[in-house]
Amino acid sequence: MPLDATASGLFPIAPTPFTPDGAIDHGSVETLIGRYLAAGATGVTVLGIMGEAPKLEPEEALALTARFIKGFGALPVIVGVSAPGFAAMRALARTVTERGAAGVMIAPPPALRTDDQITGYYRQAVEAIGSDIPFVIQDYPLTLSVQMTPKVIRQIVEENPSCVMLKHEDWPGLEKISALRGFQEEGTMRPISILTGNGGLFLDFEMERGADGAMTGYAFPEMLGDVVRLQREGRREEAHDLFDAHLPLLRYEQQQGVGLAVRKYVLMRRGFIASDAQRKPAPALSVAARAEVDYLLARLARQDERARL
């Protein structure tokens, strides 16, 4: 089933599990899928920045995607297809769609600056991949250095009917969610799904501002799913209590450069993946850092049983 604007809940950004010698660990891929489903995932995103997509060979990327599509069954799989050229983007987008992906995610290239450059890029991208493939805008200025205003996002949405979702990870970004929902209320933008990233650092309030869920890779996807659910049920205090209990670890994971190392280490300790190996080039976690993560896990376990290892 193709992705549409009603998507919500928890879409983990899947890391790519590697063995210590750098091969894809297919066994861990299966484990990961099982754990995500058990955690309440309503979809999943593969080949994102945190999935080390640029380090995969093309055939590896396709094989990995196929496993997630199979494992997630009827649930939507979104595939990152950002590429320097439209030919490669088109080839990947069409191939994964044929194989069952529900939609694709497109990040703007870092050189884009002006509003016209950004909206023009998405028009060209849709022309390239075809307007029949639902797509997600990735709005991640901290890493991509491209800044999209709410008006630019609205223009992309309005110009491209196949745009169904925003992966929101601007920072700060709470006002952006409010502005986009305001556009919808005043009738100047059709509804889209907004899932939020940034490791979840502002998920507590993002849900209150109108987000539909989380699309990020924090090593406790269960917590992300719970906060989304609690907020949608109006159980605000419980949502914040749970979120706050995780914040010290979540904050620790939110370090540019070493963040993925922390995330994979925790996922390994939790049994989601067998090894925390990354493909080179990648920073390693020091002994001191691992001890700090262990300490944070131990403290978290007092409030959330799932952190007891």
Subset of 269-308 contacting a second copy (CB under 8 A):
279-281, 286, 288-289, 292, 299
Shortest CB 255 distance to a second copy, Å: 4
Question: What is the 3-state composition of the chain as percent helix, strand, coil, each rounded to the nearest 5?
Answer: 50, 10, 40
Exactly one of 6, 26, 38, 116 binds a second copy (CB under 8 A); which one? 116
Residue with tokens 């999943």: 44
Question: By CB under 8 A, is residue 86 in contact with a second copy?
Answer: yes
| Residue with smaller CB distance to a second copy, 3 or 56 | 56
Question: By CB under 8 A, is residue 191 in contact with a second copy?
Answer: no
Q: What distance in Å separates the CA atoms of residue 175 and residue 8, rounded to the nearest whole number?
A: 20
Q: What distance in Å separates the CA atoms of residue 192 and residue 180, rounded to the nearest whole number?
A: 9
With CB under 8 A, what is the number of residues at the site for a second copy? 58
Binding mask 6-25 for a second copy (x = CB under 8 A): ----------------x---
Instruction: Give the CA angle between residues 227, 14, 60 to the nearest 5°.
Output: 170
In 10 A of CB 205, how many CB atoms?
15
Quick check: 194 and 211 in contact, CB under 8 A? yes
Question: By CB under 8 A, is residue 91 in contact with a second copy?
Answer: yes
SS3 state at 167:
strand
Binding mask 236-275 for a second copy (x = CB under 8 A): ----x--xx--xx--xx--xxxx-----------------
| Residue with smaller CB distance to a second copy, 74 or 288 | 288
Question: By CB under 8 A, is residue 74 in contact with a second copy?
Answer: no
50 is an annotated ligand-binding site residue = no
Residue 40: both structure tokens together: 């309440």
Quick check: 275 and 18 in contact, CB under 8 A? yes
Quick check: 300 and 246 in contact, CB under 8 A? yes
Question: By CB under 8 A, is residue 235 in contact with a second copy?
Answer: no
DSSP state of 18: B
Question: By CB under 8 A, is residue 2 in contact with a second copy?
Answer: no
Q: What distance in Å separates the CA atoms of residue 76 and residue 200, rounded to the nearest whole number?
A: 21
In 10 A of CB 59, how many CB atoms?
8
Question: By CB under 8 A, is residue 204 in contact with a second copy?
Answer: yes
Binding residue positions for pyruvate: 215
Residues that bind a second copy (CB under 8 A): 22, 52, 54-58, 83-88, 91, 110, 113-117, 121, 124, 128, 147-149, 151-152, 171-172, 174-175, 178, 201-202, 204-205, 208-209, 240, 243-244, 247-248, 251-252, 255-258, 279-281, 286, 288-289, 292, 299
